Amino acid sequence: MKLSGIKYLVDQGTENIWKNKMMAFATFCVLLISLMLVGMSVLFYINIDSIIGGISDKNEIAVFIDDSATQEEIDELGNNLSAIDGVSEVTFESKDEAFQSMMKSMPEYERIFSSLGNDNPLVNGYKVKVHDIDRVSEIIDKIEQMNHIYYIKASQEFVNILMELRRVVTLIATAIIIGLVIVSMIMISNTTKASVFSRREEIQIMKYVGATNGFIRIPFFIEGMVTGFFSGAGAFLLTLLTYRSTFSILTRNVGVMNVIGLGSIIPFGKIQFYVLGAYILAGAFIGGLGSVLCTRKHINV
């Protein structure tokens, strides 16, 4: 096809949007709402998973060391802990540091602590953080096999709750997203069919005068892509405003935010280009493909 022919078809596609403003606007709105609903659901799931991950990062395995261990053996134990696959951080806490921390956290028992004098009942230890809470049990099993371990403390019940919560959230979010995708596709399909149906006579006339299937479809394809492009851009702007407003409300109190794990919410600035690209590509693809598929019935005359 000549360049002039391509330009003509592109012009026809863009002009059709203005000629059929009402149907184009209806398609735009349906696509925008559908993209935003699915997009916001995906972002909600990603942030819930990030929050659960942030809470799990605060979960530590406390490894207490046998008092008979020498400094060399303590250092070796620390190296062995760091070498475990899945461990993200290992921090040594001497028994003196642990004692001072205990006194600060329980000031009401100051007199009891003072009565101990120089007798420190605590032992040296390591605080171990893991990458994935699903591997806590596996890592504890490996630590138990090491030498000079006095005691291991881990909130296994808390870990199990987080694992179950993540599983439930994943299942619910997946079901919601799949449901929204199906509903959105039905809405988009019906709207696109209505748009093409309103111009069925135009398609049939073009077919009768000898226009090829490609010649008829390309303007509809371009029209759908352009409408989808702007629907994606609109969905992005609405998502941006909604996300930032919600983020501002949730993160207003930094202290509370960190305690309940909201510090793990992803700032929109970190993902905005991915979201924009996903919206525009999805909008253009769905709009263009839907228009082409819906013209097939009226082309076969």
SS (H, E, C) 170-237: HHHHHHHHHHHHHHHHHHHHHHHHHHHHCCHHHHHHHHHCCCCHHHHHHHHHHHHHHHHHHHHHHHHH
Q: Each residue of 162-192: pLDDT tens digit? A: 777 778 878 888 888 788 777 777 776 776 6
Same domain, 150 and 271: no
Containing structural domain, residue 238 = 3-55+161-299
More confident residue, 281 or 197: 281
Q: Each residue of 63-90: pLDDT tens digit? A: 898 888 889 988 999 899 999 988 888 8
pLDDT of 237: 95
Same domain, 42 and 183: yes
Query: What is the spatial distance between Cα 38 and Cα 34, in angstroms, rounded to a whole number?
Result: 6
CATH assignment of the domain containing 117:
3.30.70.3040
Same domain, 78 and 25: no
Domain boundary pick from 154, 186, 211 = 154
pLDDT of 269: 87
Same domain, 251 and 187: yes
More confident residue, 301 or 201: 201
Handedness of CA 73, 74, 75, 80 (dihedral sign): positive
Same domain, 41 and 166: yes
Token pair for residue 185? 């596709």
Same domain, 166 and 291: yes
How many domains does the chain fold into? Answer: 2
Same domain, 208 and 287: yes
Query: What is the spatial distance between Cα 222 and Cα 129, in angstroms, rounded to a whole number?
Result: 53
Of 16-25, 123-132, 190-199, 249-258, the least confident = 249-258
pLDDT of 238: 95
Domain boundary pick from 120, 154, 188 = 154
Average pLDDT over residues 132-138: 78
The CA-to-CA distance between both ends of the chain, in Å, stands at: 24
Q: Each residue of 230-288: pLDDT tens digit? A: 999 999 999 999 998 887 777 665 454 554 455 567 888 889 999 999 999 988 888 88
Domain boundary pick from 133, 154, 175 = 154
